[in-house]
Amino acid sequence: MIISNGLEKFNRNILETKKNIILIGIEKNKPKDFMKSRNSGLNQVLCKLAKKNNISIGISFNDILNSKDRINLLGRIMFNIKLCRKYKVKVILCNSTKNKEEIRNEKDLRAFALTLGLSPSEINIKRFLY
């Protein structure tokens, strides 16, 4: 099951459930970063819950493609990837599109995942239309 971004309490409740799901766009609704760190929507407690309950963190390529504040969004995604790697949470790059013009091929998505900081063995790509 794939669940899109919600508020912080909603995300926490999702991570506490024991379902095999993908949580996408956890970094989108954060208004502003903190003074010395990123406000990425993910922290060590949420990563431990995700690992315990076998929940994957999803990165939506469509969100990046259509974002107006792409620089901060990419920084938050890279920070979330570091946290997920540290706590061994599975990261999935999703090509979730509303129309066919936004679909990218798998080689492009793999190259993009490498630039985000994922290693070749960590890259996992899912495609779906909504």
Q: For 38-76, how does the pLDDT look when each residue is reduced to its tens digit (9 = 90+)?
A: 788 888 999 999 999 999 999 988 888 888 889 889 999
Number of domains in the chain: 1
User: What residues make up the domain containing 32?
Assistant: 2-129
pTM for this model (two decimals): 0.87
Q: Which of 71, 87, 85 is nearest to 38 (CA)?
A: 71
Indicate if the alpha-carbon torsion angle 54, 95, 104, 29 is positive or negative. negative
Average pLDDT over residues 70-97: 91
Residue 85: which CATH number?
3.20.20.140
128, pLDDT greater than 80: no
